[in-house]
Amino acid sequence: MTAPLGAGGSVTMGETLLRVDDLSVALSTGGSMNVPVIDAVSFELRRGETLALVGESGCGKSMTALALMRLLPESAHVTGGAVVLRAESGAGGLPPASVADAMACAAPAALLSASSAADIDLFGLTEAQMRSVRGHRIAMIFQEPATSLNPVLTLGEQIGEVLRRSGRQDRAQERERVIELLKAVGIATPQRRIDEYPFQFSGGMRQRAMIAMALALEPDILIADEPTTALDVTIQAQVLELLAELQQRRGTAIVLITHDLGVVAQMADRVAVMYASQLVEVADCKSFFAAPRHPYSRKLIEAVPDLSRRAGGLAVIPGQVPVLGTTWQGCRFAERCDQQQARCLSAPPVLSPHQTAYRSFSEAQTAAAKVRCFYPLDTESAGVDALGTDPMVATTGPQTAAALTEPIRASAAPLLELLDLKVHFPIRRGLWRRTVGHVRAVDGVSLAIERGQTLALVGESGCGKTTVGKAILGLVDASAGRVRFDGTEPAQFDRQSLRRYRRRVQIVFQDPFGSLDPRMQVSEILKEGLRAQSLGTDEAARDRRAAQVLDLVGLPRSAMTRYPHEFSGGQRQRLAIARALAVEPSLIVCDEPTSALDVSVQAQILNLLRQLQYELGVSFLFITHNLAAVEFIADRVAVMYLGRIVEQGAVDRVLTQPAHPYTRALLSAVPSIHRPADRIRLQGEMPSPSQPPSGCHFHPRCAQAEPRCQRQVPAVINLADDHQAACLLLDPVQR
């Protein structure tokens, strides 16, 4: 069944360490039904390399990782294939007894050829033998560092119990080693932190601790399942850097599972793309981005928003990510593919080696590339490099949005103005619940949104950007400052006018699964606002309006009688937008509307928002942490840090000539497939808004901070026509 390891393909990075052959996994969903979630996936991993496993949600990439560890959930089981791990080369790692034990049992079961009798088929091991592989040979880190650590054990205990497996060490030695490990992953004062519990660590620090735990026994392979998805960009940059550094030092091979192509471009040596439970393309990282061979890979790359493509729409993959349980006759991507031909629908293509004519890469690299397509893309012009100069390529697809011109700029007063807005939440303590402090979620924010324009509010989690949105809608009360909307001030409104005001300002939330009431029919959802606002003369009129907004967001009218759970994430987000549009608002606050969506769907929603603005002249406050989306959608951008705006202005200016050190660091931290990774390292994490640092909030993390930054609150400085920043270093008077 399996050939000796390292036989296939030429070795560039080192010997092959792990080979996955036709791995198939199925999920039993009640009754006797089996739904395949991984379908004959094969790849190999070489010593010291990083293989990125890329795909959208539900494509099976996380399941693949769990299958390698034999940690599949109870409802899933391996239906075929093999995972072969190369026998250990050096000393250390597995205790000798258990190695011998494992080998003895594994060899006959693994069906390995004589030349590599020492290689281990992981599926042939007993559970006890597999346990000695986990941690020792293959380790894994997970997406959510918050829930992946045991809340009631100290870090020292949790890392220590891994060490204890390798042999008899006394407690002092063990402690020493844990401290060493913590130090290696960049945790400051490890002597003290070793006795702390996970909840006392921030997200980034927890992920570092997870990495320390995974690397404790120096495994050959590290599987990282979306290791930075739950983290902010600046923290993500730190963690990725740490991984790269550790890999370089120890030669660990990494399987990096991610949906973020920016991360892939920065980290990976090779890329494997999964779509609908199958691998569709395996290629060298550089050649993958330069000349993707599978139409899906290409679309995926093109769908990432970027400043260079502002003039047109984003490339869009029509349709939705297929649901589990779908059955196919031909190519699984065919119905979403714009290169589709008759053959694609009738016969399934196989993953086969493919040579490209791309000249700038060595033969060895291109030989290793495999693609699952009858008509793989060959031309050099398909690459990203060409895209930047020729925006029309991206818009040739039938589903891409029509090229949009800039919306007309209105000269009247801004639609919405925030003047020194503050939202403080009291912290109550003691016997009489006296207020002993405030969480300064929003601490003096001034903004303006013009009619028919989009302002992007950018910042990391916890900076207060969502609270600003809620304060605008009156969902939280402002502690100080003013919100001025179209000449009126909602703070002074009585109930009646507040309700009328809410008709003019609407909101779209991040989570498409939480933002629609699962018990309501779509028509009810859409008409809820109309009823509350007493809009429409009768039920028929409201029905007409509901149908109208469905048309606007591009959903069929048949959706009216259905329930939210029948729609995919992207469609639900369209519904949420439709609900907001139904009451004809002038401003829509979009709170991270695309960050829960897959790249291809994200592009659809961004295109839709732009189109709506063009057609209806509605203004957007686009709250996001995703700078790439900002580049695409916003006219102006405001960068927020710990309750304050540090810089704002026209998008072109702020993103190309950032003035504030934080903006610069933030921009450089975003992994991009276009820009080289030339980054400003940002130390530490954002402090808690209940105890913000004195003076400039950013000074503890600022590389250029001067003593006065500690004392003085920086004033807003006009840098250009539409570009302000709040930084003492930029102040011409002080300078």
- State the nearest-atom distance from the C-beta of 719 to another protein, in Å: 34
Instruction: Give the integer Cα–Cα distance in Å for 71 and 77.
Output: 10
Residue 298 sits in the site that holds another protein (CB under 8 A): no
Establish if 77 lies at the interface with another protein (CB under 8 A). Answer: no
Asked if residues 6 and 359 have their Cβ atoms less than 8 Å apart, the reply is no
Least Å from the CB of residue 141 to another protein = 8
Instruction: Verify binding: residue 144, another protein, rule CB under 8 A.
Output: yes
β 253-258/50-54 pair status = parallel
Q: Closest by alpha carbon to 270, among 368, 137, 141, 383?
A: 368
The verdict on 515 binding another protein (CB under 8 A) reads yes
Q: Which residue of 329, 379, 513, 704 would you call a contact of another protein, by CB under 8 A?
A: 513
Q: Any idea what DSSP says for residue 375?
A: S
Cα(608)–Cα(588) distance, integer angstroms: 13
Helix 599-616 and helix 295-302, axial crossing angle in degrees, nearest 10: 50
Q: Is 57 in the site for another protein (CB under 8 A)?
A: yes
Please report whether residue 147 would count as binding another protein according to CB under 8 A: yes
Amino acid code (one letter) for 36: P
The one segment of 71-79, 344-352, 551-559, 695-703 that binds another protein by CB under 8 A: 71-79
Site for another protein in 209-238 (CB under 8 A): 210, 213-214, 226, 229-230
Q: What distance in Å separates the CA atoms of residue 86 and residue 457, rounded to the nearest whole number? A: 50
For another protein (CB under 8 A), the number of binding residues is 93
Q: How far is the CB of 533 from another protein (least distance, A)?
A: 6
Single residue of 89, 191, 200, 704 touching another protein by CB under 8 A: 200
Q: Is 561 near another protein (CB under 8 A)?
A: no
Q: What H or E segment, with its residue span, contains residue 106?
A: helix 96-110
3-state class of 718 per DSSP? strand
How far is residue 646's CA from residue 658's CA, in Å, rounded to a whole number?
Answer: 11
Using rule CB under 8 A, residue 139 touches another protein: yes
* Residue ranges of E strands in 246-404: 253-258, 270-275, 278-284, 352-353, 370-371
Element (H, E) at 177: helix 171-184
Supply the minimum distance, in Å, between the C-beta of residue 143 and another protein. 7
Q: Find the binding residues for another protein in span 107-136 (CB under 8 A).
A: 127-128, 131-136
Interaction of residue 654 with another protein, rule CB under 8 A: no
Q: Pattern 575-604, binding to another protein, x per CB under 8 A? A: -x--xx--x-----------xx--------
Q: What's the min distance (Å) between Cβ of 519 and another protein?
A: 5
Stretch touching another protein by CB under 8 A, among 159-167, 395-403, 665-673, 688-696: 159-167
Torsion angles phi and psi, residue 730, rounded to 5:
-90, -5
Sole window of 7-15, 103-111, 115-123, 562-570 interacting with another protein (rule: CB under 8 A): 562-570
Question: Least separation, in Å, of the C-beta of 30 and another protein?
Answer: 6
Q: Residue 636: in which H helix or E strand, if any?
A: strand 636-641
Give me the least distance between CB of 130 and another protein, in Å please.
Answer: 8
Among residues 182 and 726, whose Cβ is nearest to another protein? Answer: 182
Is residue 278 within the footprint of another protein (CB under 8 A)? no
- Tokens 């149908």 belong to 547
Q: Closest separation between CB of residue 516 and another protein, Å?
A: 6
Residues 422-461, interacting with another protein (CB under 8 A): 429-431, 433
According to the binding rule CB under 8 A, does residue 539 interact with another protein? no
What minimum distance in Å lies between the beta carbon of 33 and another protein?
A: 9
Distances (CA, A) of 699 to 533, 692, 734: 47, 11, 17
Q: Which position has the token pair 């199925």?
A: 26
Asked whether position 69 contacts another protein by CB under 8 A, the answer is yes
| Alpha carbon distance 80, 69 (integer Å) | 15
Q: What phi, psi does 329 have (nearest 5°)?
A: -100, -50
Name the residue type at position 199: F
Quick one: tokens of 255?
A: 């399987």
Based on CB atoms, which residue is closest to another protein, 31 or 556? Answer: 31
Q: Which of 102, 103, 120, 149 is in the footprint of another protein by CB under 8 A?
A: 149
Tokens of 233: 């960009």
For another protein, the binding residues in 675-694 under the rule CB under 8 A are none
State the virtual CA torsion across 430, 434, 436, 441 in degrees, nearest 10: 120
